[in-house]
Amino acid sequence: MTRFLKWLLAPIRVTWLQPLYEKLYLFTLYAMNYGGGSYTEDSGEQFVLAYVARKTERQSKPIVIFDVGANVGSYAQLVLKTFESRATVHCFEPSHSTYQTLVAAVTAPTVIKHPFGLSSKTGQLPLYADAEQSGMMSVYSRDLQHLNISFGPMEVATFSTVDAFCREQNIPEISLLKIDVEGHEFSVLEGAQQLLKDQRIRFIQFEFGGTNIDSRTFFRDFWKLLHDDFILYRIVGNGLRRIDAYSELLEIFVAVNYFAERKSNPV
């Protein structure tokens, strides 16, 4: 901050105005869609799927979508509504009880359900939650005492990696890799290193927010991993806000979704 700017702001940097600034800050965050990343219907995800559908309309390769952290199938239903039968959707849900609900809720033949999660390596991990089939279920025992929410162990689940799964299933390219796994998003991308290196993932959507406090991951981690090969955006209600450079101001731990589009996108 320049000396002139400090002088200019000095009269308003006072204690009695801070409550107003805090309310304005919360209003601005909400207007920027922070806090709106958890709700499929109005988070901007519908716009992103329509965007991906347009971009892949003339794609000669099969359209393959990964729904990592599928929960009970809300996102898969939105994919079906957008793509109808044009895309194959692979849903990954590691929680046994949630997986059973997913299977019953989404019966379309183009949606393939898998009773395991994706991570940075294959193996087993414990799942923690505040309740069975909770949308906040995570591999991290989250500290949410400030919200009067208690997490406890629920079950032990099986995990694979994007690279291993695609190799075993002979999937050459992922059109859209959507990741919503309560703080474990970066680990999923770590398990997709080979596909990322080979430029075989065209679009990525990932959630970032309070869960990343518990997983100790930062937006800078995602930026460093992706920005050389992808254009990154923050998803807003009706579109995309491009991010041209990293800044510490992006480290906002309130749920929002980001979108990455590969710079080189051959049909």
Q: How far apart are CA 169 and CA 164, in angstroms?
A: 9
Say if CB 251 and CB 216 are below 8 A apart: no
pTM over 0.75: yes
What 3-state class would DSSP assign to 243?
A: strand
Q: How far apart are CA 253 and CA 255, in angstroms?
A: 7
**Cα-flanking dihedrals φ and ψ of residue 192, to 5°?**
-120, 25
Digit-coded pLDDT (tens) for 213-265: 999 999 999 999 999 999 999 999 889 999 999 999 999 999 999 999 999 86
Digit-coded pLDDT (tens) for 98-157: 999 999 999 999 999 999 999 999 999 999 988 887 888 899 988 888 988 888 888 999
Say if CB 205 and CB 177 are below 8 A apart: yes
CA-to-CA dists, residue 46 to 42, 66, 100, angstroms: 8, 16, 25
Say if CB 44 and CB 236 are below 8 A apart: yes
Say if CB 179 and CB 217 are below 8 A apart: no
At position 192, the amino acid (one-letter code) is: A
Fold of 18-46+64-262: Rossmann fold (3.40.50)
Say if CB 67 and CB 75 are below 8 A apart: yes
Digit-coded pLDDT (tens) for 33-81: 998 766 666 678 999 999 999 999 988 889 999 999 999 999 999 999 9
3-state secondary structure 103-142: HHHCCCCCEEEECCEECCCCEEEEEEECCCCCCCCECCCC
**Structure tokens belonging to residue 113:** 């359900």
47: Cβ–Cβ under 8 A, 6 or more apart, which residues? 235, 237, 238, 239, 240
Q: Where are the domains of the chain?
A: 18-46+64-262
Q: How far apart are CA 105 and CA 75, in angstroms?
A: 12
Burial of 123 per CB tally in 10 Å (0-12, 13-18, 19+): exposed
